[in-house]
Structure 1
Amino acid sequence: MPKVLISVDMEGVSGIVHSVETNPDRYDYERGRALMTGDVNAVVAGVLEAEPSADIVVVDAHGPFRNVLLEELDQRVRLIRGRPRPGGMLAGLGNDVDAVLFVGYHARAGTGPAVLAHTISGDALGVRLNGREVGEIGLNAALAGQHGAPVVLLSGDDAACAELRELVPEASTVAVKRALGQLAAEVTHPAIARDRLHQGAAHAIARRAQVPPLLIGGPVALEVDLYNPVAVDMATLIPGVERAAGARTVTFTARDVAEAYNVVMLLLHLAQVKNG
């Protein structure tokens, strides 16, 4: 019985192009939640078509981590929701996970054209592991890789799909929209997108043995460019975090990807304190 982890973000979901559809205090959020849940269900159906005995855990990985409509979610899966929690966007990840799927993911900060591109929050201008620029796709793929789990599928816009293929060329991708800018895309009808997601997930799970995990050995040199200089001042209070040349970059040498991941999350948590 393979164990499958599905991490679902929101910006890369079918049809979504604006923060009014992803932000809980904005007017179109409930519609965004419905689109998100529909995409997840399509992927779940595809996984179970290929592996009827699969043990599937869905991880709500956007914003407050309380977005997927539980009542509308496929009853054959378990859902992880709420924060704070260990593992962040990959809560529930362990050495027993056989495959990871990213649904509704978006490209990293600085990418364009790309719908709602950012890295975790607007507070991060850039994140690098051993000198390589990564966003949420790279960070999460590397964390999964540390546990021996390959990322076999990603859905999102064409920029997000390209980002995963740069890291894991063997992975499958499903582009549910073509980015025209930060807040614009050419989209397909949700029913068509979900059919593609269903087929893509089935294909990805069937060939999971052909996809290697993304492995980044330790120690890991972490660099984070922060938008707010005050956040840099606060970050240097963390043992091991140092200010690099320039006003906005901090560095940290982590034992492994998991430690680097946790430091990134902590740094961006501190960055939310805007005025010290």
Structure 2
Amino acid sequence: MTSVLVSTGMEAATGVTRPDDVEPGTASWERMRPLFTGDVNAVADGLLAGGASDVLVDDAPCTQRNLLLEALDPRAPLLTGRHEPLGMTAGVEPADAVVLLGHRTGAGRQGVLSHTCPGTGPTGFRIDGEPADEGRVNAPIAEEHGAPVVLVTGDDLTCRAAGTWAPDALVEAVEECVSRYAALCLPPGRSAGPLRARAAGAVRLPRARSDRADVPEERGAPGRPHRFEPDFHAPHPAAAVLAVPTVEPCGPRGVASAAPDATTAARTSKVCTTVAGAAMEDHFD
């Protein structure tokens, strides 16, 4: 039995290249929703063909109401709506494996629509001294819940970066980054097949891992300490975030917080970026 969580990001789905493509309510967003849903369907079909017992899809980006439920593979239930306790890894508790679909590189890095926590101003983000790609936040949370990341999709730079935070995962690029707002994109008719095939192969990875003698039977990995360091575009968001317990200054525009495990670190970071967003002024930031 292999239960798989598909944690979705829209910023690096097939065809997405500009902010309007992921901004709810815009014409571009409406146009990209079927393409995004198509990526998810290709991966879900591949996972099930590869032997997954069930697939849960987490609609994680922005308002968390982006995927078209009526067009989704009927075998893959959808977790949708805001304020999920584990954010992009909501639904990981019963899973045996995780797919990070449509993920991107982090703030301050090259990559299609690269950013960390939009609307809150981070211009850079580090975790344990390394660039905080989206997957570097989510992969250790998945591991702590006993569900390793087995597949990463996105642009070519995200797939390359995944080697540092999910070295055992398969990758599949649907876009080649040209700039932050431009990419060489595969049409859906060409991206779907490779996504399906890669997902079918990825679902076998947890089985191989569980068959190894050196892997303990109990679920999850012991949490280890992590240090999150976001940099903001100006001093005042950083000053506002210092009101959060455990947070300390880190340079003139940055803060740092340490936590005993990845799940706690990510929750603290969410509080920090929410406070930073509330510190913004509409016409002067």
**TM-score, scaled to structure 2:** 0.90
Measure the CA separation in 1 of the matches of 2:10 and 2:182: 15
Q: Give per-residue Cα distances to partners, 1:156-184, cap 9 Å, x unaligned.
A: 11001011122222210011111100111
- Map of 1:66-81 to 2, 5 A cutoff? 66-81=65-80
Supply the AA of the counterpart residue of 2:11: E
For residues 45 and 79 of structure 1, what CA distance do their matches in structure 2 show? Answer: 14
Give, in whole Å, the separation in 2 of the partners of 1:228 and 1:143. Answer: 30
Q: 4+ residue stretches of structure 1 with deviation over 4 A?
A: 210-217
1:95-143 CA distances to partner (integer Å, 9 max, x unpaired)? x32110011111112222x111111225222222222222211100111
* Cross-structure match for 2:19: 19
**Structure 2 CA distance, aligned partners of 1:130 and 1:202?**
33
Please list every run of 5 or more consecutive structure 1 residues that lacks an aligned counterpart in the other structure.
none
Among 114, 133, 143, the alignment partner of 1:135 is: 133
Q: Distance in 1 between matches of 2:199 and 2:17?
A: 23
Residue 196 (structure 2) pairs with residue 190 (structure 1): no
Contact 2:12 2:103 in 1 (8 A): yes
Q: State which drifts further: 171-180 or 211-220.
A: 211-220
Describe the superposition over 1:42-78 as per-residue Cα deviations: whole angstroms up to 9, x where unpaired.
00000010115x1211000111111000111111121
CA contact (8 A) 1:219 1:255 kept: yes
Give, in whole Å, the separation in 2 of the partners of 1:92 and 1:31. Answer: 27
Q: Corresponding residue for 1:49? A: 49
| In structure 2, distance between residues paired with 1:101 and 1:195 | 17
C-alpha distance 210-171 of structure 1, shift in aligned 2 (>3 A): farther
AA at the equivalent of 1:249: G
Q: Structure 1 residue 214: deviation in Å?
A: 11
Aligned pairs for 1:165-244 within 5 A? 165-210=163-208, 217-244=223-250
* 1:120 counterpart = 2:117: yes
Q: Report % sequence identity.
A: 35
Q: Aligned-pair RMSD on alpha carbons?
A: 2.0
Residues 215 and 157 from structure 1, CA distance in 2 versus in 1: closer, same or farther, beyond 3 angstroms? farther
Query: How far is 1:209 from its partner?
Result: 3.8
Matched residue of 1:28: which SS?
Answer: helix
Match of 1:107 in 2: 105
Q: Which residue of 2 aligns with 1:154?
A: 152
The separation in 2 between residues aligned to 1:205 and 1:235, in whole angstroms, is 40
If the length of structure 1 is used for normalisation, what is the TM-score?
0.92
Aligned to 1:37: 37
Structure 2: any 5+ residue segments left out of the alignment? Answer: 210-214
Quote the Cα distance in structure 2 between the aligned partners of 1:146 and 1:57: 18
**CA shift at 1:210, angstroms?**
4.8
For residue 263 of structure 1, report the CA deviation from its aligned partner.
Answer: 1.1
Deviation at 1:216, TM superposition (A): 8.2
Question: 1:78-93 alignment to 2 at 5 Å?
Answer: 78-93=77-92
Partner of 2:212: none
> Is the CA contact (8 Å cut-off) linking 2:42 and 2:196 kept in structure 1?
yes
Counterpart CA distance in 2 for 1:107 and 1:209 is 29
**Alignment size in residue pairs:** 272
> Mean alpha-carbon deviation: is it higher for 199-208 or for 40-49?
199-208
Query: What does the per-residue CA deviation read over 1:214-239, in whole Å, with 9 as the maximum and x for residues that have no partner?
Result: 97843322222122422112111111
- Conserved? CA contact 2:51–2:203, under 8 Å: yes
Q: For residues 16 and 208 of structure 1, what CA distance do their matches in structure 2 show?
A: 30
